[in-house]
A and B are shown apart, each in its own frame.
Chain A
Amino acid sequence: MECPVTSPVWSAVVLHPADDVAVALRPLEPGPISLRSGDAKTFEVRAAIPLGHKFALRDIPVGADVRKYGEVIGIATTAIARGTHVHVQNLRSRRAKAR
């Protein structure tokens, strides 16, 4: 469940409202974290996420576009569960594939 938190410090950031992923601002362990997406909210992370890496904000079906910075950064190569790591194991470039 997402709800406002009072702490001014957040652990992950959503860079654009249209994004499917958030970026960890510190190494994250599974569990609740504070997420900055406009206001700060709590969010349940379900995998260890290294600093600078991404996790899914919602369930992403296989073949779906994945957005960051409000833009498509690639296609999901497997179904990606909310709160889990999004990286080269489940995300593929469209540009590189299109050649």
Chain B
Amino acid sequence: MAYQTSFLGYRRPKGPAATRNHLLVLSIVGLTAPAARRIARSLPGSRLVAAAYGRGQLGGDAITYRRQLVGLGRNSNCGAVLVIGADRKTADAVATAISETGKPVEVVTMDDVHEDALALSDAGVRHGARLMHMLSRQRREAVPVGDLVVGIECGHSDATSGLVANPLAGAVADRLVDAGASAIVGETIEWLGAEHVLARRAAPGVAQAIVDAVMRREAAAAATGMDLLGNNPGQENIRGGLSTIEEKSLGAIAKAGSRTIQSLLALAEPPTKPGLHVMDGPGFSPESLTGFAAAGAQLMMFTTGPGNSFCNALAPTLKISGHPETASRLPEQIDFDGSAVLAGIESLDQAADRLFGLLLDVASGSATWGEVLDETDEVLVRLGPSF
């Protein structure tokens, strides 16, 4: 079958095209979050990311937190960024890292307004308004499917996830990779028991890194007294028919499809070449999705059994379920109903073709339910306590 090779996206000065054209209101420290919320409320249609932290962080925690903030700003779905900070130096550093992408970035800080939050709000609204006015003049045009970076996540799994929704996402991941696009699968802990399968499919030098990443998580859990293999699969999994950790994890990694794994990414680390990538990240899906968005994902596929309402704020998030009752029970949440595969009336390949079509339709501007309802957020990972 010949697949669609382009979608309607926004071209960017550098890097991949975008599926959306947001103004990002990016508050990089908790001090300016209230003013940032006021600014975003005054700019309907803008996207707000108001970091709760951003100061008093050390080492890997500080580095990872900053990488997420900069990565969200660099995401191509943000056509322009308004950086809001407390001090000039930090805000300028973030803005400079974002503006390497060639997109317009403006900065307002508490330093500039002598700690007056209302004056900060006024300056932010004016700068933001000019950026949004400019963005409204950009138009979609045909761009290659190969520009897409798609994050693949699962949340609230059940017996149908490993049978339908995850293999469906995997089949679409294969189609994306074959078109020259990138796909990212995260949630390191879900590889436990199937890490050797991922390792076997990895490019040279990547296999051991994948196994090591799982071992690190297992050891970190063990250090807190938790045995990840002790009661895993859990009772609910066992009732659903999953017998072993290998079986559970194979069902989870089915969403990675079957292509070669090009690299193991750190949280929020952008892939440097097209193809399939795995991200060493948290299993909590809001954080995992933010990790993908900060790595440049402009779209997400999110598989679920009984439903899961949470979507990423910057990247449209398609909710996919194979459970026969979920799509009819949650008509304003589930974007793709794969239950015909479970019913035995549609093959997985036929359903994957339909899902690939929908994905490109959303890439071209059709809204997901999560976008219509703004059931979205960004949740940044912290790796340590505040200093």
Chain A interfacial positions (CB closer than 8 Å to B): 8-11, 13, 15, 23-25, 34, 36, 50-54, 68-69, 71-74, 86-88, 91-96, 99
Contacts and interface: CB of A to CB of B under 8 A. Distances in A.
B243 A88 contact: yes
A15 B341 CA distance: 12
Interface string B255-284: 000000000000000000000000000000
A23 B163 contact: yes
Contacts of B104: none
Contacts of A9: 343-345
Interface size bracket, B side: 20 to 34
Q: Which 10 A-B pairs have the closest CB atoms?
A: A52-B159, A53-B241, A52-B241, A93-B244, A10-B344, A73-B247, A74-B244, A95-B193, A69-B250, A73-B246
A88 B238 contact: yes
A53 B239 CA distance: 9
A65 to B, nearest CB: 10
B313 interface: no
B160 A52 contact: yes
B241 A54 contact: yes
A69 B344 contact: no
A79 to B, nearest CB: 16
A11 B243 contact: no
30 contacts: A8-B345, A9-B343, A9-B345, A11-B344, A13-B344, A23-B163, A23-B241, A51-B241, A52-B158, A52-B159, A52-B240, A54-B241, A69-B250, A69-B251, A71-B246, A71-B250, A74-B244, A74-B246, A74-B247, A87-B243, A88-B238, A91-B243, A93-B244, A93-B246, A94-B244, A95-B192, A95-B244, A96-B229, A96-B244, A96-B245
Contacts of A23: 163, 241
A54 B163 CA distance: 11
Contacts of A50: 241
Interface in B226-255: 229, 238, 240-241, 243-247, 250-251, 254
A15 B247 contact: no
A54 B243 contact: yes
A73 B194 CA distance: 9
B350 to A, nearest CB: 12
B342 interface: yes
Nearest to A74: B244
B197 interface: yes
Contacts of B240: 52
B167 interface: yes
A73 B241 contact: no
A53 to B, nearest CB: 4
A11 to B, nearest CB: 7
Contacts of B345: 8-9
Contacts of A36: 344
Interface string B317-359: 0000000000000000000000000111100000000000000
A94 to B, nearest CB: 7
Contacts of B158: 52
B246 to A, nearest CB: 5
Given A8-B345, A99-B229, 9 more contacts: A9-B343, A9-B344, A10-B344, A25-B342, A36-B344, A69-B251, A74-B244, A87-B243, A91-B244
A71 B243 contact: no
Contacts of A95: 192-193, 229, 244-246
B243 A73 contact: yes
Contacts of B241: 23-24, 50-54, 87
Contacts of B243: 54, 73-74, 86-88, 91
Nearest to B194: A71
Interface string B145-177: 000000000000011100100010000000000
Contact of B245 (A15, A24, A71, A93): A93
